[in-house]
Structure 1
Amino acid sequence: MANLSLITPIEYLKGVGPQKADVIKKELLIFTIGDLLQYYPFRYIDRTKFHKIRQVHADLIGAQILGRLISLKEVGERRGKRLVAQFRDETGTMELVWFQSIPWLKKSLKIGSPYIIYGKPVEFNGAISMTHPEMELYSSAEKKVGNMTMQPVYSSTEKLKKFNLDTKGIQKLQQTALEAVYNGIEELLPAYILQKHNLIGHKEALLAIHFPQNVNELNAAIRRLKFEELFFIQLRLLRNKQLNTQKFKGHRFDKVGDRFNAFFNERLPFPLTNAQKRVIKEIRQDTNTGAQMNRLVQGDVGSGKTVVALMSMLIALDNGFQACMMAPTEILATQHYNGLKELIGEDICSIKLLTGSTPTKERRLIHQGLEDGSLDILIGTHALIEDKVKFKNIGFVVIDEQHRFGVEQRAKLWRKNVVPPHMLVMTATPIPRTLAMTLYGDLDISIIDELPAGRKPIKTVHFFENQRLRVFGFIREEVTKGRQVYIVYPLIKESEKMDLLYLEAGLEGLMREFPLPQYHISIVHGKMPVKDKDFEMQRFVKGETQIMVATTVIEVGVNVPNASVMIIENSERFGLSQLHQLRGRVGRGAEQSFCILMSGDKLSKEGRKRLDTMVRTNDGFEIAEVDLELRGPGDLSGTQQSGVLEMKIADLAKDQAILSEARSRVIEIFKEDPQLLAPQHQQLSIYLNQRAPGISWDKIS
């Protein structure tokens, strides 16, 4: 055992061996002793607290009692066989029952001896009992691990339990591991950081997280390990950012020329908001440094991200470069193209659209224009990343809703020039600050947090099923005014057929209320052929239909300024970010818009909180924070694939203050010692070079 360390394979730990190691690797992805020690308990039983038998009731999660075993007998036959004990303290008597391991228990349990028992109390025929309680002989002379302390509880599985790796078995392994490697565990953080942030040592934290003596010791261990985890994530991200700034040279855009000025002075249809001006200034500064820009622009639906992207592309054109914009779907790419074409007019620059539907003849002309430099801006879908698409001099790339693209797809665009183009990534999905700092910590982040002047906030209300006639009346009023209405049904993963039934049932009711020829309805759902779906969407876009009934296949980017009402059926089934995205389909014109959340009468606590949040605020960032709190980071769009968020103990929804502390400290370190050459930073340098090469997210975003 003397030669064991954190990187020793788990099979060499005493009590494991090849077979156990195999199941531990498969079930828990634990490969080394270090991995095992990072397998933290998910809760603790406070074994310092004792109940009296008369205080015990069935609502308790668990109860610990000190008493005496007064009798033990086997009752029943065959499958009904069980072992029943009477257990007594000074306040009363209760039954303990076992259905398994009866011969062993009969041999090992001692009648008349004092025991500490722990288990879940249940009530049967008015009496309290415990099934399969933990039993520990009580000795006032000695205190063992798990006796009179905070006892850890570990997640286990049926396969692990077959190898005696239930919570007690895992606890025993942790104890063996700590005994074997404790003295060799090195401190990872510099002493001045421990002092400044009042943190306990690394090995003390590992001991206390698995075997805490009291709540204060446990809290100190949790805080230390959370800080450490978030600190090293930020260290990797900010080192990547630093390396890429040094390594990847970028085109220098050192002037603002005729095209930008012509658009700004003659074509801009409305004044820029202060937020838009700020973001354009940040992009302008980035592209004039000689290093490749990687900037994420977050802005709610309708905040004017597209105009910022266009003006940035015009700066590229003024400096002799081409630009492109990639969108995840054909309808969104077409919408961007039509919108930009309308904004630019015919004389400022040449702009084309390339999608899977582009005819071969037109495609050849586009390829030729890109290669000879006569085509300035290309808008498109995944078609942009095909090998045939070659630019003469691409200098600026915009990616819309980047989480909809895979890593390799984004990287292909990045490789379209010898010197990589500047990258502007846009998202209308507000990302909570803590998540952005972690997931996009090596990107520069800009936020457009103002809506253009004249936009009225969308009014959101929550109605129950019994208020449906009132909703029908409201639809009639809005359509009479010449407005259009969306009605969206949920996508229930378990059954697409069920979705269709929901939609069809809703449609029948609508047809009765809104008969032809006075009202025209578009229908869009996932079972339709793409051609039919596009046809129905285009009818709605052109104003040929007044009501669009759809499942959630409705495109996130469809822009219909005349649509003033969004009705979301079974809204309690949607996530918060999805509700917010759907609400953003309306409110794009100057008229007052409305979002109506329909739900059943029975709402879960979480469902009610989601709907109350939607009614209370239109702020996408506030909504994103509540969403993170309710769902956790792993469920939020695009975060699971990153690999960055595989945290062992930190929780982004709850640990914002610790994350901010850790990030600030890392920023200070790189400012004072960019190469980590100072003696106190030697351990950090070793960590980065040997254990955490990290992922270059800005390179591929």
Structure 2
Amino acid sequence: MANLSVITPIEYLKGVGPQKADVLKKELQIFTIGDLLSHYPFRYIDRTQFHKIRQLHPDMIGAQILGRLISIQEIGEKRARRLVGQFRDDTGGIELVWFQSITWLKKSLKVGSAYIIYGKPSEFNGQISITHPEMELFHPQEKKIGNLTMQPVYSSTEKLKKFNLDTRGIQRLQQVALETIFNTLQEPLPPYLLEKHQLMDYAKAMLSIHFPQNTPDLNAAVRRLKFEELFFIQLRLLRNKQLNTQKYKGHRFDKVGDKFNTFFNERLPFPLTNAQKRVVKEIRQDTNTGAQMNRLVQGDVGSGKTVVALMSMLIAIDNGYQACMMAPTEILAQQHFAGIRALLGDELCTVKLLTGSTPIRERRLIHQQLEEGTLDILIGTHALIEDKVKFKNIGFVVIDEQHRFGVEQRAKLWRKNIVPPHMLVMTATPIPRTLAMTMYGDLDISVIDELPAGRKPIKTVHFYENQRLRVFGFMREEIAKGRQIYVVYPLIKESEKMDLLYLEAGLENLQREFPLPQYKISIVHGKMPVKDKDFEMQRFVKGETQIMVATTVIEVGVNVPNASVMIIENAERFGLSQLHQLRGRVGRGAEQSFCILLTTHKLSKEGKTRLETMVRTSDGFEIAEVDLQLRGPGDISGTQQSGVLEMKIANLASDQAILMEARQSVIEIFKEDPSLSSKKNTLLAHYLNQRSPGISWDKIS
């Protein structure tokens, strides 16, 4: 039964009304009383303990002190007018400063009396002071000493503050909401789970998260609400995975035939790594079960995912099915097409490329061959999901850099056959384990964690911009050896807000240092017409230019084995995963490769951490873990679009243990009661029925 009180529209809460409701909806996406209760405090002012004056330092968020007001004095005139009080305890003294309400304060403050004060300590000329402290007379005869609570602090905005919805205003609304519906709050977790995991009950957790009496209560409420959030995410994901194997039948690939064997024995240009062999074996097993495969393959740049995908497509072709591969950009699609054609030769399979640039005559031929079944592998961009593209018998779909496609786009491919094709999704962005379990908890995950033999690790160094001449000298040395160089910029044109060495100015600088005819430079950025971009790319690929000046358009999908140096300008402006992807553009050949990170001297703490991580390691999974710690899950791999990660309180970077506990609990529940039909799981079955009407496209990740 739905908890009707929490779905009551927010405008009907006492003290809200239409205007405040409108701003709450726009600013905080609070539409119901339940949404308000899920707007949790982001920190607490701890009024449960007292500090001594000698313990105060300016890094403290706030401090509560019991002491005596020794004196007050008005200083200065007009705008410089202020009231200064001397406040002492048995360990020392501080200044209290007020710039407002001076006349009223002079009348109301009692010199010589004991006060409990609260405020943020700051330091000026070596003296600790507190500006505009909260003041409360101390009455030793009262049992309750001061405001001994953990006071919640809520995120607000300037628009909300205009409606008196600052942190105190929101706190008042939370109090009214809890007083209104506390007795009707229903427990969403079964009693046996509360007992097994020693969880606080839901109503008490809601009260304690907003108005904690003490630190242990607050910690218990936070743990309970984090567990619940992660538990229900895992329940949805693992139910989808269960449905996938039970409900969605898949094509059975029961043989490995001539095409696969010919390719493996005669065309494969290098031996597979053990990691590649393991993943091919997992895919072979999946596609022979009779259930639809949904597998994510993650592996670092250059780990050989494309060969694994090609061998999987050949298994489909050997079993009488067609295969396709969808890439997010035309450049990447063309590269896959060229690479796969080169690996297969002309005799083994028919392979075609379909993008937005494909001429109409060629497009019609592709459509015809697809429907006749004479085209084995189609590689392309979003053009593959157009309604006009019809396969005779699609059995295997590969999606590269899958996070760049929306759920519905992926679903269109899934619907191109009556029996859904097997889905292999690939990413070159290594994903931390916790994030993978939450984003892709309904998928089977394979990891290619080995680089092909003979690859030398890329040497990464960090230089400041005043070392640029040294970098130019190194570039000349590498070009003299016959190598090629990428120089990547974060912007195309100058930004008024960011003082960056932008691409156009950088190009002029490079043209002076590397003049024609001895040196030739390509330039590529996202604003260029596709034809111009392809022309410049091809010049670099063919070795006609030695330097490629680019924006992050080359982050994915350019493979030039002869390019041995990646220079990233203003590297502090890039995220860790972007830096790692860009570095992966070099190191494709047998020669030693280098990545040079150029920055200003002004680096934030986060910026320093990113650069130190890049210099220290080339392990994509380690880098992804640091990235998760720095940025949180929402920005990594485009996960905001998934809908799965709209978490109110859990944090994947810091709550790994709770996630593991929640996931294991769900696994055990489904193992014991796969259909959730037992009486003790009624609440869980009800939750899934509410949240999952009809088909869930979440499964197609």
Superposition TM-score, scaled by structure 2 size: 0.91
1:370-420 Cα distance to aligned partner (Å, 9 max, x none): 111111111111221222211111111111111222232222212211222
Partner of 1:403: 403
In the TM superposition, residue 576 of structure 1 has moved relative to its aligned partner by 0.7
1:658-673 equivalences under 5 Å are 658-673=658-673
Distance 1:508 1:239, change over 3 A: same
SS of 2:187's partner is coil
Partner of 2:333: 333
C-alpha contact 2:501 2:570 (8 A) present in aligned 1 = no
Partner of 1:220: 220
Provide the rounded CA distance (Å) in 1 between the counterparts of 2:535 and 2:499.
Answer: 21
Q: Which deviates more, 407-416 or 144-153? A: 144-153
In the TM superposition, residue 233 of structure 1 has moved relative to its aligned partner by 0.7
C-alpha contact 1:492 1:498 (8 A) present in aligned 2 = no
SS of 1:621's partner is helix
Q: Which deviates more, 659-668 or 461-470? A: 461-470
2:378 is the counterpart of 1:349: no
1:595-634 equivalences under 5 Å are 595-634=595-634
SS of 1:396's partner is strand
Distance 1:254 1:474, change over 3 A: same
Partner of 1:186: 186
Distance 1:700 1:100, change over 3 A: farther
1:203-261 Cα distance to aligned partner (Å, 9 max, x none): 23222222223322222222221111111111111112222332222212121111111
Partner of 2:276: 276
Partner amino acid for 1:386? E
1:571-610 equivalences under 5 Å are 571-610=571-610
Partner amino acid for 1:684? L
Distance 1:55 1:481, change over 3 A: closer
Q: Which deviates more, 421-430 or 464-473? A: 464-473
Partner of 1:208: 208
Partner amino acid for 2:272? L
Partner of 2:506: 506
Provide the rounded CA distance (Å) in 2 between the counterparts of 1:410 and 1:578.
Answer: 24
SS of 1:639's partner is helix
In the TM superposition, residue 120 of structure 1 has moved relative to its aligned partner by 2.4
Provide the rounded CA distance (Å) in 1 between the counterparts of 2:74 and 2:468.
Answer: 62
C-alpha contact 1:252 1:289 (8 A) present in aligned 2 = yes
Provide the rounded CA distance (Å) in 1 between the counterparts of 2:456 and 2:278.
Answer: 22
The answer for unaligned runs of 5 or more in structure 1 is none
Distance 1:350 1:58, change over 3 A: closer
C-alpha contact 1:321 1:396 (8 A) present in aligned 2 = yes
Partner of 1:480: 480
Two-structure CA RMSD over aligned residues (Å): 3.0
In the TM superposition, residue 115 of structure 1 has moved relative to its aligned partner by 4.1
Count of residue pairs brought into register by the alignment: 698
1:158-190 Cα distance to aligned partner (Å, 9 max, x none): 333344333233223323333333343333333
Partner of 1:545: 545
Provide the rounded CA distance (Å) in 2 between the counterparts of 1:459 and 1:683.
Answer: 55
In the TM superposition, residue 139 of structure 1 has moved relative to its aligned partner by 4.7
C-alpha contact 2:463 2:597 (8 A) present in aligned 1 = yes
Partner of 1:570: 570
Provide the rounded CA distance (Å) in 1 between the counterparts of 2:521 and 2:259.
Answer: 43
Q: Which deviates more, 509-518 or 39-48? A: 509-518
Partner of 2:168: 168
Distance 1:83 1:8, change over 3 A: farther
SS of 1:49's partner is coil
C-alpha contact 1:316 1:395 (8 A) present in aligned 2 = yes
Partner amino acid for 1:250? G
Partner of 1:525: 525
1:120-519 equivalences under 5 Å are 120-122=120-122, 129-139=129-139, 147-491=147-491, 495=495, 502-519=502-519
Q: Which deviates more, 69-78 or 272-281? A: 69-78
C-alpha contact 1:569 1:597 (8 A) present in aligned 2 = yes
SS of 1:590's partner is coil
Q: Which deviates more, 57-66 or 350-359? A: 57-66
Provide the rounded CA distance (Å) in 2 between the counterparts of 1:634 and 1:608.
Answer: 21
SS of 2:647's partner is coil
Partner amino acid for 2:273? T
Partner of 2:50: 50
Provide the rounded CA distance (Å) in 2 between the counterparts of 1:383 and 1:98.
Answer: 65
Partner of 1:687: 687
Provide the rounded CA distance (Å) in 1 between the counterparts of 2:271 and 2:187.
Answer: 55
In the TM superposition, residue 141 of structure 1 has moved relative to its aligned partner by 6.2
Partner amino acid for 2:604? S
SS of 1:637's partner is helix
C-alpha contact 2:294 2:700 (8 A) present in aligned 1 = no
Partner amino acid for 1:255? K
In the TM superposition, residue 92 of structure 1 has moved relative to its aligned partner by 4.6
1:656-676 Cα distance to aligned partner (Å, 9 max, x none): 121111111111111111111
C-alpha contact 1:84 1:98 (8 A) present in aligned 2 = no
SS of 1:556's partner is coil
Q: Which deviates more, 325-334 or 7-16? A: 7-16
Q: Which deviates more, 90-99 or 633-642? A: 90-99
Provide the rounded CA distance (Å) in 2 between the counterparts of 1:266 and 1:56.
Answer: 74
Partner amino acid for 1:48? T
Partner amino acid for 1:446? S
In the TM superposition, residue 518 of structure 1 has moved relative to its aligned partner by 2.5
SS of 1:291's partner is coil
Provide the rounded CA distance (Å) in 1 between the counterparts of 2:494 and 2:249.
Answer: 49
Distance 1:626 1:51, change over 3 A: same
1:250-288 Cα distance to aligned partner (Å, 9 max, x none): 212121111111111221111111111111111112212
Distance 1:238 1:522, change over 3 A: same
Q: Which deviates more, 159-168 or 428-437? A: 159-168
Distance 1:437 1:161, change over 3 A: same
Distance 1:458 1:338, change over 3 A: same
Distance 1:623 1:519, change over 3 A: same
Q: Which deviates more, 183-192 or 350-359? A: 183-192
Provide the rounded CA distance (Å) in 1 between the counterparts of 2:403 and 2:36.
Answer: 33
SS of 1:565's partner is strand
Distance 1:83 1:372, change over 3 A: same
Q: Which deviates more, 122-131 or 326-335? A: 122-131
Distance 1:494 1:641, change over 3 A: farther
SS of 1:454's partner is coil
Q: Percent identity?
A: 82
Provide the rounded CA distance (Å) in 2 between the counterparts of 1:358 and 1:153.
Answer: 56
The answer for unaligned runs of 5 or more in structure 2 is none
2:655 is the counterpart of 1:655: yes
SS of 1:6's partner is helix
SS of 2:45's partner is strand
Partner of 1:97: 98
Q: Which deviates more, 513-522 or 56-65? A: 56-65
In the TM superposition, residue 32 of structure 1 has moved relative to its aligned partner by 2.7
1:14-53 equivalences under 5 Å are 14-52=14-52
Partner of 2:561: 561
C-alpha contact 1:82 1:102 (8 A) present in aligned 2 = no
C-alpha contact 1:41 1:210 (8 A) present in aligned 2 = yes
SS of 1:315's partner is helix
C-alpha contact 2:443 2:699 (8 A) present in aligned 1 = no
Superposition TM-score, scaled by structure 1 size: 0.91
C-alpha contact 2:82 2:102 (8 A) present in aligned 1 = no
Distance 1:191 1:365, change over 3 A: same
SS of 1:553's partner is helix
Provide the rounded CA distance (Å) in 1 between the counterparts of 2:654 and 2:122.
Answer: 34
SS of 2:320's partner is coil
SS of 1:5's partner is helix
Provide the rounded CA distance (Å) in 2 between the counterparts of 1:223 and 1:698.
Answer: 27
Provide the rounded CA distance (Å) in 1 between the counterparts of 2:53 and 2:498.
Answer: 51
Q: Which deviates more, 65-74 or 192-201? A: 65-74
Q: Which deviates more, 477-486 or 122-131? A: 122-131
Provide the rounded CA distance (Å) in 2 between the counterparts of 1:188 and 1:404.
Answer: 35
